[in-house]
Amino acid sequence: MSENAIFRAEGLSKTYPGVKANDNITFSVTEGCIHALLGENGAGKSTLVKTIYGLVRPDEGRMWLGGQAFAPADPHAARAAGVGLVFQHFSLFDAMSVAENIALGLDNPPPRRELAERIATISRDYGLPLNPNRLIADLSAGERQRVEIIRALLGHPRLLIMDEPTSVLTPQEAEILFATLRQLAGAGTSILYISHKLDEIRTHCDRATILRGGRVVDSCNPRDHTARELAAMMVGGEMRDIDRSGRRPGEVLLQVRDLSLAPLSIDGTSLKSLSLDLRAGEVLAIGGVAGNGQEELLSALSGEITSAPGTIALEGQDMSRLGPVARRRAGLLAAPEDRLGHAAVPGFSLVENALLTAAPRQDLAPGGMIRRAAARSFTERVIAEFDVRTPGPDTAASALSGGNLQKFVIGREVLQDPHVLVVNQPTWGVDAGAAAAIRQALLNLAAGGAGVIVISQDLEELLELGDRFCALNEGRLSDPRPTDGLSLDEIGLMLGGAHGMEAAHVAA
Amino acid sequence: MIDPVSVFLMLLSAATPLLFAALGELIVERSGVLNLGVEGMMITGALAGFAAADATGNPLIGFAVAAIAGCAISMIFGVLTQFLLANQVATGLALALFGLGLTALFGKPYEGVKAPSMALGPLRIHWIVWLGLAMVPLIWWFLQRSRAGLILRGIGENHHAAHALGHKVHLYRLAAIGFGGAMAGIGGAYISIATVLQWTEGMTAGAGWIALALVVFSGWRAFGVLAGAWLFGGVTVLQLRLQAAGIAVPVQLLAMAPYLATIIALVVISARRKGSAAPGSLGKIFHATS
């Protein structure tokens, strides 16, 4: 297999202060093959990608590309050698046009008119329709990714790296992406596909290299293994099944009627006459692609934005005109999506962050005087019960890893004994172990008689947690459907399908 | 009473210092750097240019030296903010005060000295005015059509993305800051060498601050800067004419007019614009994390 290897890494190591991000990594990618790089957050995938793309220099080890020694000093050198990268967090320039964005990623861009023609050609060939004159800010996530892909393809890469490309796509958009990748692989481009989504790797990838703690733990054909086996290799131990028992829907706790709301920002979405009922002991899953009104819905429920009288009622009491503190007192709690900045103050300690939301219900600041000891013990309880890995309750929120901070943010609300808890993206960017813990906590909360609303883009999570599922699409909420028997395809259609994306229509 | 042609010629002259300083700052801000020290760089250019013109008797050499001096003092800001990652707002304010203080000290010997006379260009308009006008389409072309301008805008819009694509963020920003300094220097020298014809302490009189406002007012566009500079220059000339005509309005109110007009225009334009045209990374410190 090494004869037709297009890329080979041998003994790559990179140490950051206190952490060995890559430890003696050796693997090779065969020509014309879709090769998965599988691992949890912190397994060293990003460092490896940055090394191949010339953004990070390895401390040790060597690489070969197309049979030649390969040690890129910067991304220009990597691109010149034939490496293309589609970033996970898009490296796009919002206020600039598609053509300008693409030109910025090429080393010798052709004149404007010729570039526009080449963009048109390549987008036709690969079924990635794109208007070169549109602003990035006006594009959907799927379209933005197309810009990244076309930018990478215009460099004629021999090795195309895709860093978690499907995390922002609907299932249908993802299918189109895979059709494109297949076509590319058929034409001889090798693809290094980075993900932690086991199912798509099992369906679409020819090889998988599994990373854990900066090391290669295994290399296999993912089609020969079950998702559970791959997960075990990735996490290093058996995954525990989620326990969904013990829940009985009770009376309606939260009633939303005809909730309409203007967008929060210019690129936000307005809520259009939304209605829902949430029962005690029930988890309502709300799915949708980002930017379809999730932020607006969470803000309306949490009380950050008030709505017309009579639109939101908790246990028969009108909440619509109340602010977040009053709603918290009444038992309606929320945990927003953005943990650094919205759910938590990055520079504040965990104790201070706990105070910010828990003060009303836990009586941590009676008469405006902070009870430090009580706040501290509440924080310690969150840390202990939710297994938050931190040096102590006085550590700044920004010093915690994403998964640990997320456990803290969710735990802080769960332990306040809410009647209704609304969470947005509870496991976004969190590794599998922490995600499982958070999901279990939400289910336990519902089993205890609370109502839970989970807003998420992760459809598998929604199916795993929810009793009923609604799709939020352009600010409209679909009728709820029981999650039992609901397939991913059906959900994809409920979410608005592929948003006008079309499949590759050129014979490969 | 007021001859439109001569008013327009005066307007061109009154707008020139602002035009230079604001075009320079436009490039700086488009690269994502907020340099509030324009006033300090202008006054440095005003003194250095005046001194060089006085020493050589050649005003054009004076302008060249002013550009060099403005660029040199801007490098203090550049090194502090780009390499030592100092806060841009605080450093810029310090630069403004530093320039004013430094020139007050070294300008003493030049007080009362008269500037050398200079030759005028076509249409009896000073060459520097022509240069300033030429800079407008040139800078537009640079930003919108050239490769370097595209990268510069990209860095200003999202420095992390630009870095990830392999563009040299600090290098481009340092070059932009230096260019901004040179332009501010020329703008300042135009006041001392071409309009007032002598050196006085603090003679830029807030032009640097107005230039900063113009950049915002323009929506970070070269031709917008020109429009703003002409508006300010026009109102300045008009109020001077009105003063001369002995109109029964207090002088203080008239003198206030150009500033007031600029602020009103800014407010109106900002209120009408949807969102902000400001570069995405404006004023943020870039530190590569890898």
Using CA atoms, how far apart are residues A246 and A251, in angstroms rounded to an integer? 16
From A145, A116, A155, A114, select the one nearest A133 (Cα to Cα). Answer: A116
Cβ of A76 within 8 Å of Cβ of B166? The answer is yes
Report CA-CA distances (Å) from A357 to A246, A352, A410, B4.
Answer: 29, 9, 11, 65
Of the listed ranges A145-149, A319-323, A378-382, the least confidently predicted one is A145-149
Q: Report whether A190 contacts A157 (CB < 8 A).
A: no
Mean pLDDT score, A372-393:
90
- At A34, the amino acid letter reads I
**A190/A187 Cα distance (integer angstroms):** 9
Q: Is the pLDDT of residue A289 over 80?
A: no
CB A270 within 8 A of CB A75: no
Contact B164 A93 (CB under 8 A): no
- pLDDT at position A1: 43
CATH of B4-272, one of 3.30.1950, 2.60.120, 1.10.3470, 2.60.40: 1.10.3470
B160 and A55 within 8 Å at the Cβ level: the answer is no
Nearest CA in chain B to A75: B166
Q: What does the pLDDT average to over A337-348?
A: 83
Average pLDDT, chain B: 90
Question: Dihedral of the CA atoms A285, A290, A293, A296 (nearest 10)?
Answer: 90
Average pLDDT over residues A175-200: 86
Tokens of A218: 């295994």
Q: Does B90 touch chain A (CB under 8 A)?
A: no
Asked if A95 and B160 come within 8 Å (Cβ–Cβ), the reply is: no
Nearest to A50 among B158, B279, B290 (CB): B290
E-strand stretches of A347-430: 420-424
Percent of chain A with pLDDT over 70: 93
pLDDT for A95 equals: 87
Residue B273's φ and ψ, nearest 5 degrees, are -75, 140
Give the relative orientation of helices B207-217 and B222-244 as an angle to the nearest 10 degrees. Answer: 130
Are A451 and A420 in contact by the 8 Å Cβ rule? The answer is yes
Residue A508: predicted pLDDT: 32
The per-residue pLDDT for A246 is 66
On chain A, the residues whose CB falls within 8 A of the CB of B165 are: 75, 91, 104-105
All residues of chain A having their beta carbon less than 8 Å from the beta carbon of residue B275 are 266
Q: How confident is the model at residue A492 (pLDDT cuts 50, 70, 90)?
A: confident
Which residues of chain B neighbour A79 with C-beta distances below 8 Å? Answer: 166
pLDDT at B274: 57
Domain ranges of chain B: 4-272
CA dihedral sign of residues A442, A360, A355, A314:
positive
Average pLDDT over residues A294-310: 90
Residue of B nearest to A15 (CA): B290
A162-181 average pLDDT score: 80
B274/A54 CB distance under 8 A: no
The pLDDT assigned to B2 comes to 63
B59-78 and B88-106 helices cross at what angle (nearest 10)?
140
pLDDT of residue B15: 93
Q: Taking CB atoms and an 8 Å limit, are B164 and A75 in contact across chains?
A: yes
* Integer CA distances (angstroms), A239 to A25, A40, A200, A479, B223, in order: 25, 13, 19, 33, 62
Residues A286-297, mean pLDDT to the nearest whole number: 84
The closest alpha carbon to B129, from B68, B59, B82, belongs to: B59
Show the tokens assigned to A3.
Answer: 């004869």
Bridge partners, residue A473, by sequence: A476
* Closest residue in chain A to residue B281, using alpha carbons only: A93
Give residue for tokens 């004159």.
A133
Digit-coded pLDDT (tens) for A421-474 = 999 988 876 777 788 889 999 999 999 899 999 998 877 788 888 999 999 888
Q: Given a cut of 90, is residue A143 above it in pLDDT? A: no
Q: Which domains does chain A have, with CATH numbers?
A: 5-235 (3.40.50.300), 252-507 (3.40.50.300)
- For chain A, give me the number of helices (H) and strands (E)? 16, 21
Q: Which one, of A236, A283, A241, lies nearest residue A436 by Cα?
A: A241
pLDDT of A3 strictly over 80: no
Burial B43-76 (b: 16+ CB within 10 A, else e): bbbbbbbbbbbbeeeebeebbbbbbbbbbbbbeb
For residue range B14-25, list pLDDT tens digits in order: 999 999 999 999
Query: CA angle at residue A427 from A425 to A433, to 5 degrees?
Result: 170
Q: Which of A211-220, A234-243, A360-369, B194-203 has the least mean pLDDT? A: A234-243
Per-residue pLDDT tens digits for A199-257:
888 888 999 999 888 889 888 898 888 877 887 887 776 555 667 776 777 889 999 99
Model pLDDT, residue A450 = 92
Interchain pair B158, A103: CB under 8 A: no
**At residue A14, what is the residue type?**
K
Residue B150 contacts A where some CB pair is shorter than 8 Å = yes
Q: Is A375 exposed, middle or buried (0-12, 13-18, 19+ CB in 10 A)?
A: buried
Contacts of A91 in chain B (CB under 8 A): 158, 160-162, 164-165
**Lowest mean pLDDT: which of A302-311, A456-465, B97-106, B158-167?**
A456-465
Choose among B147, B157, B166: nearest Cβ to A74: B166
Predicted pLDDT at A275: 92
Could B150 and A54 be called an inter-chain contact, meaning their C-beta atoms sit closer than 8 Å?
no
Residue A287 vs residue A340, higher pLDDT: A287
| CA–CA distance, B73 with A60 (Å, rounded to integer) | 43
* Single-letter amino acid, residue A153: L
| Residues 155-174, chain B, touching A (beta carbon < 8 A) | 157-158, 160-162, 164-167
- Model confidence at A176: pLDDT above 60: yes
Which pLDDT value is given to residue A499?
A: 45
Number of DSSP helices (H) and strands (E) in chain B, helices first: 11, 0
Instruction: Name chain B contacts of A95, Cβ cutoff 8 Å.
Output: 157, 277, 279-280
Among A103-117, A167-181, B161-175, the range scoring the smallest mean pLDDT is A167-181
Mean pLDDT of B194-222: 90
Q: Do residues B41 and B95 touch, judged by C-beta distance below 8 A? A: yes
| Across A326-335, B69-78, B272-281, least confident range | B272-281
Given a cut of 50, whether residue B185 has pLDDT beyond it is yes
CA distance A75 to chain B (A): 5
The Cα-based distances of A327 to A215, A310, A331, A401, A441 in angstroms read 48, 14, 6, 30, 22
* Token reading at B219: 């929506």
- Summarised one tens digit per residue, pLDDT across range B123-176 is 778 889 999 999 999 999 999 989 999 999 999 999 988 998 889 999 999 999
- Asked if B102 and B81 count as a contact pair (C-beta separation under 8 A), the reply is no
Q: What is the mean pLDDT of chain A?
A: 85
Nearest residue of A to residue B276, measured between CA atoms: A95
The average pLDDT across A471-479 equals 88
Half-sphere exposure (CA, 13 Å, Cβ side) for A365? 13
Q: How far is B212 from chain A (nearest CA, A)?
A: 21
Residue in the block written with tokens 């050609």: A121
Hey, are the CB atoms on A96 and B153 less than 8 Å from each other?
yes
Return the pLDDT at A241. Answer: 65
Write the pLDDT tens digit of every residue in B43-55: 999 999 999 999 9
Interface residue of B158, B160, B165, B273 to substitute, partner A, most A CBs within 10 Å: B165
Residue whose tokens read 């400001």: B278
pLDDT band at A267 (very low <50, low <70, confident <90, very high): low
Task: Determine contact, residues B15/B210, Cβ cutoff 8 Å.
Answer: no
Residue B290 pLDDT: 43
Chain B interface includes A93 (CB < 8 A) = yes
Q: Are strands A207-212 and A215-220 parallel, antiparallel or unpaired?
A: antiparallel
pLDDT above 90 for B75: yes
Secondary structure string (H, E, C) spanning A137-203: HHCCHHHHHHHHHHHHHHCCCCEEEEECHHHHCCHHHHHHHHHHHHHHHHCCCEEEEEECCHHHHHH
Among the listed residues A344, A335, A325, the one whose alpha carbon sits nearest the alpha carbon of residue A299:
A335
